[in-house]
């Protein structure tokens, strides 16, 4: 009797194992399953926008910070000096502009004077032309009047040219190019000075902090990372055979390696529409590979999954198994049982 009971138990176990094996073989067509899934959290790469010696580190590794909170400071002395120099250059440019404005006013007055003198000399020349025809003035007097008219006209043209030159320098604006350039340099210097205090642009948790006061850091060098705990997603790679089931809004079951026995719900949010071609990384001529096997490895499709009620203790990089839910209640029951078994297996491995 006991032998028959054991025999029945063995048959039942083998039947269950066989059914699950068969189900896993066809699962890509009814409920895609993958163990190649990784949790990611949004990570902000914090790099200084100026170079210098670190004077103070205001945070610790693992500390939670808020947006706008000070992270570390860089020696501001050279940047403060640059600001003072830029301010002096701007003041000098303003003075030069004021001097040019005064020169323009003086040149305009001189132009009016030269114009009047030229007009008077031309009128006097016309008068002498009439008088010399009547023999009332000598040729010498007429020549002198002609010379004075030419000199007055030349002086008028020179004054006019000088006005145009000064106007070109001023460019008809409230300031000239030199002032605008000095203002831009001052703004950049002030911005660099402000960047000596590095602040958090997003809220999150500090990770990979390796800063130390007294160290020199170069502009653009990664200094630390801020992990956004509120922005997380699961990146899962499924076989392409299940593409029809890997559509946005499709619900899934998730079992994390770090949380044995627990099953989470999630939803596919998007699907990557292109994959990297290792044989043609730079869109160059393709390399053809001869393969004698009649069965090849299936292409993977990467999907992004939003996890419901995600445990905040999970780190970025946590691994998980994912199975897509089925609209068929019988198949979905098998899916639930299988993903629960996978979650329980994590107690062992």
Task: Return contacts of 26-31, CB within 8 angstroms, 24+ apart.
Answer: 27/242, 27/323, 28/238, 28/239, 28/241, 28/242, 29/241, 29/242, 30/245, 30/326, 30/328, 30/331, 31/245, 31/323, 31/324, 31/325, 31/326, 31/331, 31/332, 31/334, 31/335
pLDDT tens sequence across 35-71: 899 999 888 888 999 999 999 999 999 899 999 999 9
Coil, strand or helix: which one is 151? helix
pLDDT tens sequence across 244-256: 888 899 999 999 9
**From CA 227, how far away is CA 204, in angstroms rounded?**
5
pLDDT tens sequence across 306-340: 999 888 888 888 999 999 998 888 888 888 888 88
Predicted TM-score (pTM) of the model is: 0.64
Residue 283 has pLDDT above 70, yes or no: no
Greater confidence (304 vs 295) lies with: 304
| % of the chain at pLDDT higher than 90 | 29
Residue 268 pLDDT: 92
pLDDT tens sequence across 103-121: 777 777 777 777 787 777 7
Residue 141 pLDDT: 74
Residue 233 pLDDT: 92
**Confidence class for position 292, pLDDT limits 50, 70, 90:** low
Residue 286 has pLDDT above 60, yes or no: no
Residue 23 pLDDT: 63
Residue 22 has pLDDT above 70, yes or no: no
Greater confidence (63 vs 281) lies with: 63
Residue 184 has pLDDT above 60, yes or no: yes
What's the rounded mean pLDDT across residues 178-189? 87
Residue 255, number of CB atoms within 10 A of its CB: 25
Residue 217 has pLDDT above 70, yes or no: yes
Residue 341 has pLDDT above 60, yes or no: yes
Greater confidence (277 vs 124) lies with: 124
Task: Return contacts of 155-163, CB within 8 angstroms, 24+ apart.
Answer: 155/114, 155/117, 155/118, 156/111, 156/114, 156/115, 156/117, 156/118, 158/114, 159/107, 159/110, 159/111, 159/113, 159/114, 159/115, 160/111, 160/114, 162/107, 162/110, 162/111, 163/104, 163/107, 163/108, 163/111
pLDDT tens sequence across 260-273: 989 999 999 988 87
Residue 56 pLDDT: 93
Residue 171 has pLDDT above 80, yes or no: no
Residue 175 has pLDDT above 70, yes or no: no
């Amino acid at each position: 009797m006991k032998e028959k009971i054991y025999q029945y138990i063995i048959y039942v176990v083998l039947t269950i194992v066989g059914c699950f094996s068969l189900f896993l073989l066809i699962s890509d067509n009814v409920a895609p399953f993958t163990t190649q899934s990784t949790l990611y959290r949004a990570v902000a790469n914090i790099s200084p926008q100026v170079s210098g010696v670190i004077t103070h580190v205001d945070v610790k590794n693992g500390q939670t910070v808020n947006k706008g909170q000070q992270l570390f400071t860089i020696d501001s002395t050279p940047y403060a000096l640059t600001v003072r120099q830029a301010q002096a250059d701007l003041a000098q440019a303003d003075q030069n502009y004021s001097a040019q404005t005064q020169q323009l006013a003086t040149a305009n007055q001189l132009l009016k004077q030269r114009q009047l003198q030229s007009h008077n000399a031309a009128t006097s020349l016309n008068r002498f032309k009439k008088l010399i025809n009547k023999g009332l003035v000598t040729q010498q007097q007429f020549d002198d009047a002609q010379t004075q008219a030419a000199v007055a006209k030349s002086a008028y043209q020179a004054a006019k040219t000088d006005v145009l030159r000064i106007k070109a320098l001023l460019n008809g604006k409230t300031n000239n190019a030199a002032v605008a350039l000095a203002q831009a340099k001052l703004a950049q210097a002030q911005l660099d000075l402000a960047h000596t205090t590095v602040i958090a642009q997003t809220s999150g948790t500090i990770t990979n902090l390796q800063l130390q006061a007294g160290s020199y850091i170069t502009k653009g060098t990664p200094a630390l990372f801020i992990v956004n705990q509120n922005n997380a997603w699961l990146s899962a790679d499924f076989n392409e055979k299940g593409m029809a089931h890997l559509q946005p809004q499709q619900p899934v079951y998730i079992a994390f390696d770090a949380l044995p026995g627990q099953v989470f719900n999630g939803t596919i949010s998007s699907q990557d529409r292109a994959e990297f071609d290792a044989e043609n990384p730079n869109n160059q001529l393709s390399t053809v590979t001869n393969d004698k096997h009649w069965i090849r490895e299936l292409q993977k499709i990467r999907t992004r999954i939003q996890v419901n009620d995600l445990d905040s203790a999970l780190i970025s990089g946590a691994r998980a198994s994912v199975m897509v839910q089925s609209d068929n209640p019988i198949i979905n029951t098998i899916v639930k049982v299988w993903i629960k078994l996978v979650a329980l297996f994590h107690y062992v491995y």
